[in-house]
Structure 1
Amino acid sequence: MKPMSAIDFTVAICTYNGANRLAEVLDRLRSQEKTEPISWEIIVVDNNSTDDTAKVIQEYQANWSEPYPIHYYLEPEQGLAFARRCAIREAKGTLIGFLDDDNLPDSNWVAQADHFGQSHPKAGAYGGQIHGKFEVEPPPGFERIARYFALLEGKKTYCYNEKYKNTQKKLFPPGAGIVIRQEAWLKSVPEHQSINGVSGNSLSMKCEDVEMLSYLFYDDWELWFNKDMHIYHKIPKSRFERDYIIRFFRGVGLSRYQTRMIAYKNWQKLVVIPIYMVNDLRKIIRHFIKYRTNLKTDVVAAGEMELLLTILLGFFYKNTRLSHKIN
């Protein structure tokens, strides 16, 4: 029998200037079903917000009567990787489910997430279905880039380790709604990641989730997609504006070098880097030939081109800190 103080599951919400978004997420968590057998908590990590985020949480805490508590923590070092590390440090649960402040969990999300983690002890991380909740209709061709916007749907549960075991390409669960086993993070993820992630309103470097999951993957932790976990990702119309899409994919592209190189030793990099560069150049040429007449009007094609170009340029940006100067 587990101690009365033991916590099974922590919901961690990392937020920056989320005062206008947090209430809807917390209300969804307040109405979770089938959680009676689960001992769980909610923690909010404020990544140095400049709005009323702290005040919103204080008001919820003052009027909170649920058996699972809400805790507030301030992480002054901006960057999603820092906020998530704060959550890992402060969480009392053995499983930590991360929600962004624009992620709305289904009514049984906590129950499904906890059940899956308890029944898959080798799972270091797992995500579920992420459905788009769009303010406006996405642009034509959006399905080609939907995964980059943390959208993922599927009819079957599967293990990424088996699906991509013998392939060069590695696709991991998006960070939205990802559940991390605390033991796996502490054992396999280094204290300082190369990519610190979105910082404030800057999109200069992304893919901190890919880096973190790569460490788990190459340290033999299982990564899973669980079809029974559902969240809804709110995407405002501003995300489809050309300027945002270009900056967004610039951040993704400049991060690709770090995530690619995790799998290789230093001597191996001398061999694989030229191969990657030739292949990336081939993709750029092929994409340009296919969309050359539409690059100024097709925001999806323009975003894809920015991604391909900055992936190639990313080989010259080995020092992640330089990336914060790029906007």
Structure 2
Amino acid sequence: MQAHHSYQINHVYLDKQLAFPEQRTNGQGYYLVFWWKEVALGELFISSDQTLTGKEYLKRLEEIILPTIRFYAKDKPESIKEWQRLLHNQELTEWRKWMESLFASYVADSVPASVPVSVVICTRNRSADLDQCLHNLENLTCVPEEIVVIDNAPTDTSTLQVVQKHNGVRYIMEPRPGLDIARNTGVVNAKAPIVAFVDDDVLVDPLWVYKVWEGFKDPSIAAMTGLVIASDLSTEAQYLFEKWWSFNRGYVDKVYDKAYFEATLNHGPPIWEIGAGANMAFRKSVVEEVGYFDELLDVGAAGCNGDSEMWFRILMRGYTIKYNPRAVVFHKHRKDLKDLNKQMFSYMRGHAAAALIQQSMCKTAGYNRYLFWVLPVWYLKMVVRGFPKYELRYGLLKSEITGLWSGVRYYFNNRSRTKRNNEKLLNQWKEKSQQKLHWYQ
């Protein structure tokens, strides 16, 4: 059995520090996240037995953040060589001037005190996490118009007691269990035109709400996701999740639109790549038009994946979703391997059910081939590769495979409900379309 060493997370702000951070202690590894002021640029794992000289560190730094620099410098690609030269020669004063110029338009000089965004937190019996999350949201540089807590089928009054400690936070008790049921309750009750969701085990960047609101200044954007960075990697379970199942979708903007949907349709659009439900936002009117979250995909039902199934419907209707890495949150992954295995089972159960629901909505989608050929072949190779020890990543295979099979069974046992649900969503969309909603105005 391989020994696991925890990873210390260091946020390295290159506008202040370019040298390698302080040496680790107690046999820890490093997980470095690189920033230029409020813009995240990339990350680097350094294992406990790995050492880097100053030159090696700068070389790795360049390799990691170069794709991000190229994205932000796309209008002046010829300047990249100058950036590399200044870094190699450690002409730090000139290098920082170059970076300052590049990111000037992305670093806010001033922000409004508040923006018209409803932040919705769906929670159940996790009062300690919720308390931290609310305290964090109340002390942002720019605060939302409202914070709404949906207490989902609680077994005690702990959530209510936490909310009562925070002035101005709205409390709504949803007696029916299920994350997507709670999300729908949040959308229905939200007062602002933009509805943003965060998990109760998330802390957000001081400018998160502002960056979410700023993203919707583009009238073509119907929904968005943002960057999710791990807040703790002290256990093996947290490391495994971040290394192979991370919510982090990278450090450059990505657009998912009609062209993306049509280009990937034959293979089954990999909409799970768009982002994570821990950091997502929608125009309220778009959700009302395409239909609310699918409650068949809740934990206790199919498992999860209500967020990605919603993204599928938004794209299928021709709308655009943007991934904005400047809207940053920090997520606390599950610490225990037993809990992680339960999470993987639920994820894959929901993944399979959602894929089949999406196939039933759009007959030309390639999810059947993906689910019944591509994934089985991939998992067969993983089973062979991990034999006989099944350590680290391979130790999750049983939960993932049984989760997939469980999701397929759930779908076929509930096909009639799925058909009725699809018809309901289609009728809602037709009705809204006939009303000629102009959400972009």
Q: TM-score, with normalisation over the residues of structure 2?
A: 0.60
Letter in 2 for 1:260: A
CA distance in 2, matches of 1:78, 1:275: 31
Kept in 1, the 8 Å contact 2:118–2:190? The answer is yes
Q: Which of the residues 407, 431, 439 maps onto 1:314?
A: 407
1:184-224 CA deviation, whole Å, 9 max, x = no partner? 1111125753212x36xxx9712121222221121122111
CA distance in 2, matches of 1:30, 1:105: 11
Q: Which of the residues 144, 161, 172 maps onto 1:55?
A: 161
Residues 11 and 141 of structure 1, relative CA distance in 2, 3 Å threshold:
closer
1:47-81 CA deviation, whole Å, 9 max, x = no partner? 12224110111122xxx3xxxx3211000011100
* Range moving further from structure 2, 122-131 or 83-92: 122-131
CA distance in 1, matches of 2:224, 2:207: 16
User: Which residue does the alignment assign to 1:273?
Assistant: 368
CA distance in 2, matches of 1:269, 1:318: 18
The offset of 1:165, in angstroms, is 5.0
CA distance in 2, matches of 1:137, 1:12: 29
User: Which residue does the alignment assign to 2:251?
Assistant: 155
Residues 271 and 94 of structure 1, relative CA distance in 2, 3 Å threshold:
closer
Q: TM-score, with normalisation over the residues of structure 1?
A: 0.79
Q: Which of the residues 121, 124, 140 maps onto 1:32?
A: 140
The offset of 1:311, in angstroms, is 2.1
Letter in 2 for 1:97: A
Kept in 1, the 8 Å contact 2:153–2:174? The answer is yes
> 2:180 matched to 1:86?
no
> 2:327 matched to 1:233?
no
Kept in 2, the 8 Å contact 1:13–1:100? The answer is yes
CA distance in 1, matches of 2:240, 2:297: 29
Q: Which of the residues 366, 371, 377 maps onto 1:282?
A: 377
Which structure ranks higher in relative contact order (CA pairs < 8 Å, sequence separation ≥ 6)?
1
> 2:220 matched to 1:122?
yes
Q: Which of the residues 136, 148, 153 maps onto 1:43?
A: 148
Identity of aligned residues (%): 19
Paired residues in the alignment total 293
Letter in 2 for 1:212: M
Structure 2: give runs of 5+ residues left out of the alignment: 1-114, 416-441
Residues 81 and 191 of structure 1, relative CA distance in 2, 3 Å threshold:
closer
CA distance in 1, matches of 2:334, 2:293: 33
Residues 268 and 90 of structure 1, relative CA distance in 2, 3 Å threshold:
closer
User: Which residue does the alignment assign to 1:195?
Assistant: 297
Kept in 2, the 8 Å contact 1:136–1:236? The answer is no
The offset of 1:141, in angstroms, is 5.0
Q: Per the alignment, in what secondary structure is the counterpart of residue 20 of structure 1?
A: helix
Residues 262 and 174 of structure 1, relative CA distance in 2, 3 Å threshold:
same
CA distance in 1, matches of 2:366, 2:140: 51
Give me the CA root mean square deviation.
2.9
Larger radius of gyration: 2
